[in-house]
Structure 1
């Protein structure tokens, strides 16, 4: 590994830490925004906070695609598309495989430590309901890759946005997690004030958004540099590095909730994000890229669908084995990783 690649890798790690920290700053501000404007607890917990935790992985493809279009960095249009599409595909793939494995591993670990039992106590109707929205959206995205017409893809992009809007509407109609309380932390910009001014809350929202845009812009540039230096396809690198960096740290919230026996929160955190990632970022990809998937992209979609269908079937037919099925979902992530390494000639 050359010195330049090592330096880029260090810069990526530093940028990731800053991105996740800034995301927490935004989430903190958005929760206070919901509190100040008297939005429902469901809106704050399931919608506004979800937007905050999804910002990094949503901004990566936006910045990458925009950088290719407008020459905001050294990458060309094709590389910008590859990084953007890789980040878009990588998020739901990681959520449907590795994030489920992490949650199940946490469950078995805390059960072994006598912190709780090894059974999941969740509302199966709500759990399956998220999959009822995920499957149509994700299958639409997959099918669109084989449609040559850009206009049809753009129409589908608009449809996905409307579909997610309907999902949010239905979620807020029936509280997604009605029995849990969300404790409101102090505002970061006013740590000693119990009721900060509205202007200060909005200032934190604006500042964190600007910081995220700048940090993600540099992060995308570093991904491009590493891909070029190592000869790794930008799409594949962004599929692996970006979602692990932006999704997985946030999904460790599920580990905390599993320890606290808040299983609805732990799994709803993942399945709700799967619906978001299969609608909003993918709509951006459909509208602003050719959206033609290569072998790695197709494989990631098929593996995610297979893992998700097995989980859904278990939740429908025999929920008592759900923890074991969630644990087994990690195999699908390993299959993709093995294939990617073979493709790069590293095995």
Structure 2
């Protein structure tokens, strides 16, 4: 047991170092390409840091264990647990990182149009994914249409996010790199090749660190006797969402609210469209109590964020309530 906790600590250090490398390289990439913070955070950062939690359900469904039922439970739980974690606990932890500096009555001010766009697309997509749970398996063509529709939603989302970029850059929302790129401190020039190299190093460390952390978490969960479904709904997302948590905390503490929130909401759109599209077709995708409870909490938390998207920013006290949503989910699920 002691070795398991040592492994968790070491992997957390790897993830923290990787997040610094990754966010630093992304800022330079966004500045070099002259793209908005919305594109950098909601697309580049979100997709990159979503790799660990994306790999878990895919590997599970591809035959992670000898039991198909366990594979499907891990797949469904990991697919639905990630958006739940992002909308509740990750948002809460990001807010907690600046509450002392900004106060309970302060605000977090992501660029509003991108923030609203992310949440609108997520709510539509996740509502479709939820509806699919109630479609009988023998009506396979309806489930297939919903799956294709979710992929289409994400494609449209990418197009609309890039279309908005140029105008946002002109309006002062371009990505800026406040410090020199880390690799340049070794004497290397700062160009697209070295930016790509640092991104690759950071991403490899993020994925490797997250996988190591998952391994440690799984070991602890087995000792505690946690079921495969609960493991994938509650425990695995805590580990796989670490890159998003750390990146958003780093950015929010530097005053980069758009990048911090875009990393979260962009990952929500990615994980609320493409992964459920796979789950609908390759898993039972049924409204089991623990699954449906998580879906409802996720939709409520995302809707709450959308309601709070005011012109002056999102109130810190309101964001802290998203953490209460995760606590409520734990109580409802574990008390069954």
TM class by smaller structure: 0.7 to 0.9
Count how many residue pairs are aligned between Structure 1 and Structure 2.
328
Supply the distance in 2 between the matched residues of 1:162 and 1:259 (Cα, whole angstroms): 35
The Cα offsets for residues 154-213 of structure 1, whole Å up to 9 and x where unpaired, read as 442232122111101100100296334332853759942114684x77777777777777
Q: Distance in 1 between matches of 2:42 and 2:176?
A: 10
For 1:45-64, list aligned pairs within 5 A. Answer: 45-64=41-60
Which of 307, 325, 335 is residue 318 of structure 2 equivalent to? 325
Pairing of 1:144-159 with structure 2 (within 5 A): 144-149=132-137, 150-159=140-149
**Secondary structure at the counterpart of residue 134 of structure 1:** helix
> Hey, what's the Cα distance between the residues in 1 that align with 2:180 and 2:75?
34
CA distance in 2, matches of 1:22, 1:122: 24
CA distance in 1, matches of 2:219, 2:302: 33
Say which of 334, 338, 345 aligns to 2:327.
334
Residue in structure 1 matching 2:85, options 94, 106, 123: 94
Q: Where does 1:274-285 land on structure 2 (aligned, <5 Å)?
A: 274-285=268-279
**Partners in 1 of 2:259 and 2:162 — Cα distance?**
15
Q: What is the deviation of 1:231?
A: 2.4
Q: Indicate which of 103, 113, 124 corresponds to 1:125.
A: 113
**CA contact 1:90–1:243 (8 Å) conserved in 2:** yes
Report how far residue 342 of structure 1 moved.
2.1
Q: TM-score, normalised by structure 2?
A: 0.79
CA deviations over 1:33-75 (Å, ceiling 9, x no partner): 7888x5845655542232211111211222222233xxxxx55
- TM-score, normalised to structure 1, is 0.76
CA distance in 1, matches of 2:287, 2:246: 30
Out of 179, 186, 189, the residue aligned to residue 194 of structure 1 is 189
Counterpart of 2:128 in structure 1 is 140
Shift of 1:286: 2.3
- Greater RCO structure (CA 8 Å; 6+ sep): 2
Q: Which has the higher mean CA deviation after the structures are superposed, 283-292 or 130-139?
A: 283-292
Cα distance in 1, alignment partners of residues 56 and 209 from structure 2: 10
Does the CA-based 8 Å contact 1:160-1:279 persist in structure 2?
yes
The correspondence of residues 1-347 of structure 1 with structure 2, limited to 5 A, is: 3=1, 7-15=3-11, 17-18=13-14, 40=35, 43-68=39-64, 74-112=65-103, 118-149=106-137, 150-175=140-165, 178=169, 179-180=172-173, 181-183=175-177, 186=181, 188=183, 191-195=186-190, 198=193, 225-315=219-309, 322-343=315-336
User: Is there any run of 5+ residues in structure 2 with no aligned partner, and where?
Assistant: none
